[in-house]
């Protein structure tokens, strides 16, 4: 019988396999950041161990760094200690680090692909659950805890039980104005937050093939939000074109050998998945969340649901608690919900295509007077590219805040947070209670919805915007 894509990649990385034990998997790339690594390095130090493969390890600073005044010392002493600890560890153990101020600094899942380090058929891990992002290239990529970070540092391997396989086939084409983010939010609402539990998922079908590389990353990024171990997409010409010419991409004869191998990384015709889901992209619409987990979402055109609508008793209770936390009344049209802050950024939607899309919608408009728009590029490179294209000017003229690179308001860990009771429309990936700051209320949205919402002040899509008046010229 044939094998699925994920089985092929898995099998290529098995260092040791014994019945009754997890497989020992070789790890091709280990990404590190300041929050989940200090205890791992400390563990190495205490045991007198070294980093086995510094040449397969890359560190950057992203979670707790400020996105303004990044050239000044970090004001929060505890954050500063964490960043300084990473710098000391990188130096001591010989790990390549892109610190704040470096041109390659940024969110770890934006930096890897951008450097060309993320390639098909790899195993990639990081002490961060959104490592699944890298699956967009046909890699097995997943988040690990700090004990596992230490294990990878010491051995360049991980013990892993082989997950089951699932295919998510998305047929048809996305309608205009509907994005990869809407697609994945629709999927999660369909499966629930535990639906992918125990599976490596392969996203396939026409709608997936039609996505750009960056949009594929958005889909794979949110695999963890429905519980999947990892999510991946078979590499194709779109993938190869994205990688070619990047700083760490193979060159010359190596490139040819690599591409020849990558082309074999597809699910065989006769392979079988343990589970299958099929969805139709052509019926999808802009999708937003109303609750406190990413599965609690509805089309933008509908209303906040009634807890009674849920069959499952647990779901009912969860919905009641969520509505209470979100201060929402069942039956309220989603479009009537007023937001205070709009956040465009994160490893889900903080890449150059996202910023181009946001700028195209915002151009010529003004941000609503009661709303704040924060645009945070995923990396320094993305920021510079956007500035080269003049996108920063579009944002600033509309009244938005144009920031430095980092995780920013995706998680309440750096200075960018919501105030208690504040409501946001956010292009990030989690709407958990307090995720963006204690007491903050988050609606997950796509980039077009975020941009339109910033202009109108209520959850909106670009279709709700009045046309921009032609600018008068004096000559």
Site for ligand SF4 in 336-365 (CB under 6 A): 346-347
Size of the site for ligand SF4 (CB under 6 A): 13
CA distance linking residue 214 with residue 180, whole number of Å: 9
**Residue 134 in the binding site for other proteins (CB under 8 A):** no
SS3 of residue 452 by DSSP? helix
Query: Among residue numbers 35 through 64, which ones bind other proteins (CB under 8 A)?
Result: 35-36, 38-39, 42, 47, 49, 52, 54-58, 63-64
Query: Among residue numbers 256 through 315, which ones bind other proteins (CB under 8 A)?
Result: 257-258, 261, 293, 314
Q: Which of 1, 48, 161, 474 binds other proteins (CB under 8 A)?
A: 161
CA distance linking residue 55 with residue 257, whole number of Å: 21
Stretch that binds other proteins, among 113-121, 166-174, 264-272, 300-308 (CB under 8 A): 113-121
Query: Among residue numbers 120 through 159, which ones bind ligand SF4 (CB under 6 A)?
Result: 128, 130
SS3 of residue 448 by DSSP? helix
Question: Residues with Cβ < 8 Å from 307, sequence gap 6 or more?
Answer: 316, 317, 319, 320, 323, 330
Structural tokens at position 151: 């294990």
Q: Which is nearer to ligand SF4, 127 or 195 (CB)?
A: 127
CB of 187 to other proteins, least distance (A): 16
Structural tokens at position 455: 């202009």
CA of residue 253 relative to chain centroid, distance:
33
Please provide the DSSP assignment of 131-194 as one string.
Answer: GGGGGGGT-EEEE--HHHHHHHHHHSEEEEPPPEEEEEEEES-PPTT--HHHHHHHHHHHH-TT
CB of 154 to ligand SF4, least distance (A): 24
CA distance linking residue 253 with residue 51, whole number of Å: 30
Stretch that binds other proteins, among 75-83, 174-182, 207-215, 398-406 (CB under 8 A): 75-83
CB of 11 to ligand SF4, least distance (A): 29
**Of ligand SF4, other proteins, none, which one sits near residue 56, judging by CB under 5 to 8 A according to partner kind?**
other proteins
Residue 446 carries which DSSP code?
Answer: -
Q: Which is nearer to ligand SF4, 27 or 35 (CB)?
A: 35
401 - beta bridge partners? Answer: 374
Among 368, 346, 371, smallest CA distance to 447 is for: 346
Structural tokens at position 370: 């009661």
Among 112, 283, 99, 119, smallest CA distance to 186 is for: 283
Q: Which of 134, 365, 403, 435 binds other proteins (CB under 8 A)?
A: 435
For residues 273-299, one letter each, b for 16 or more C-beta atoms within 10 angstroms of the residue's C-beta and e for the rest, the string is: beeebebebeebbbbbbbbbbbbbbbb
Q: Which of 45, 50, 96, 244 binds other proteins (CB under 8 A)?
A: 96
**Of other proteins, ligand SF4, none, which one sits near residue 347, judging by CB under 5 to 8 A according to partner kind?**
ligand SF4
**Residue 83 in the binding site for ligand SF4 (CB under 6 A):** no
Among 446, 442, 190, smallest CA distance to 292 is for: 442
Stretch that binds ligand SF4, among 4-12, 15-23, 49-57, 407-415 (CB under 6 A): 407-415
Q: How many Cα atoms sit within 13 Å of 148 on the Cβ side?
A: 20
Q: Which is nearer to other proteins, 16 or 366 (CB)?
A: 16
CB of 78 to other proteins, least distance (A): 4
**Residue 110 in the binding site for other proteins (CB under 8 A):** no
CB of 141 to other proteins, least distance (A): 12
Among 59, 42, 18, smallest CA distance to 154 is for: 42
Q: Which is nearer to other proteins, 54 or 205 (CB)?
A: 54
Query: Among residue numbers 84 through 113, which ones bind ligand SF4 (CB under 6 A)?
Result: 107, 109
Size of the site for other proteins (CB under 8 A): 85
**Of other proteins, ligand SF4, none, which one sits near residue 148, judging by CB under 5 to 8 A according to partner kind?**
other proteins
Residue 209 and residue 170 in contact, taking contact as beta carbons nearer than 8 Å: no
CA distance linking residue 339 with residue 43, whole number of Å: 44
**Residue 348 in the binding site for other proteins (CB under 8 A):** no
Distances (CA, A) of 391 to 21, 103, 261, 448: 52, 19, 38, 15
**Residue 410 in the binding site for ligand SF4 (CB under 6 A):** yes
Q: Which is nearer to ligand SF4, 346 or 461 (CB)?
A: 346
What is the bridge-based pairing of β-strands 401-402 and 275-280? Answer: unpaired
**Residue 416 in the binding site for ligand SF4 (CB under 6 A):** no
Q: Which of 147, 264, 283, 332 binds other proteins (CB under 8 A)?
A: 147
**Residue 383 in the binding site for ligand SF4 (CB under 6 A):** no
Residue 471 carries which DSSP code?
Answer: P
**Of other proteins, ligand SF4, none, which one sits near residue 245, judging by CB under 5 to 8 A according to partner kind?**
none
Contact residues for ligand SF4 (CB under 6 A)? 62-63, 107, 109, 128, 130, 346-347, 407, 410-411, 428-429
């Amino acid at each position: 019988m044939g094998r699925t894509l994920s089985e092929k990649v898995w099998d290529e990385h098995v260092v040791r396999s014994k019945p009754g034990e997890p497989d020992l998997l070789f790890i091709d790339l280990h990404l590190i950041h300041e929050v989940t690594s200090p205890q791992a390095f400390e563990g190495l130090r205490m045991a007198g161990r070294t980093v086995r493969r510094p040449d397969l390890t890359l560190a950057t600073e992203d979670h707790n760094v400020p996105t303004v005044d990044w050239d000044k010392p970090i004001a929060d002493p505890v954050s500063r200690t964490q960043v300084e600890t990473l710098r000391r560890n990188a130096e001591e153990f010989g790990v390549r680090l892109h610190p704040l101020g470096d041109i390659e600094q940024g969110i770890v899942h934006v930096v890897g692909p951008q450097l060309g380090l993320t390639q098909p058929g790899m195993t990639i891990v990081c002490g961060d659950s959104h490592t699944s992002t890298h699956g967009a290239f046909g890699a097995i990529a997943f988040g690990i805890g700090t004990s596992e970070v230490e294990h990878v540092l010491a051995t360049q391997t991980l013990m892993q039980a082989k997950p089951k396989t699932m295919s998510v086939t998305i047929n048809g084409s996305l309608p205009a104005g509907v994005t990869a983010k809407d697609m994945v939010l629709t999927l999660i609402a369909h499966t629930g937050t535990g639906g992918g539990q125990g599976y490596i998922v392969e996203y396939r079908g026409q709608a997936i093939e039609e996505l750009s590389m960056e949009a594929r990353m958005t889909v794979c990024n949110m695999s963890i939000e429905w519980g999947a171990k990892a999510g991946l997409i078979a590499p194709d010409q779109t993938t190869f074109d994205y990688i070619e010419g990047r700083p760490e991409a193979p060159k010359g004869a190596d490139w040819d050998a690599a591409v020849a191998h990558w082309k074999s990384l597809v699910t065989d015709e006769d392979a079988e998945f343990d589970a299958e889901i099929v969805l139709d992209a052509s019926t999808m619409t802009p999708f937003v969340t109303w609750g406190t987990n990413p599965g609690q979402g509805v089309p933008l055109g509908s209303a906040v649901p009634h807890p009674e609508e849920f069959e499952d008793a647990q779901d009912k209770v969860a919905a009641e608690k969520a509505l209470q936390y979100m201060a929402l009344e069942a039956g309220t049209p989603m479009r009537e919900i007023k937001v205070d802050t709009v956040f465009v950024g994160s490893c889900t939607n903080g890449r150059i295509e996202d910023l181009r899309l946001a700028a195209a919608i915002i151009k010529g408009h003004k941000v609503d007077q009661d709303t704040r728009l924060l645009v945070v590029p995923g990396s320094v490179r993305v920021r510079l590219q956007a500035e080269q294209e003049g996108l920063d000017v579009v944002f600033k003229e509309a009244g938005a805040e144009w920031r430095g690179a980092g995780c920013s308001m995706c998680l309440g860990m750096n200075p960018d947070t919501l105030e208690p009771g504040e409501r946001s429309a956010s292009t990030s990936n989690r709407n958990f209670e307090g995720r963006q700051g204690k007491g903050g209320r988050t609606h997950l949205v796509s980039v077009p919805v975020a941009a339109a919402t910033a202009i109108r002040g209520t959850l909106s899509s670009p279709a709700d915007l009045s046309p921009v008046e032609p600018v008068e010229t004096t000559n």
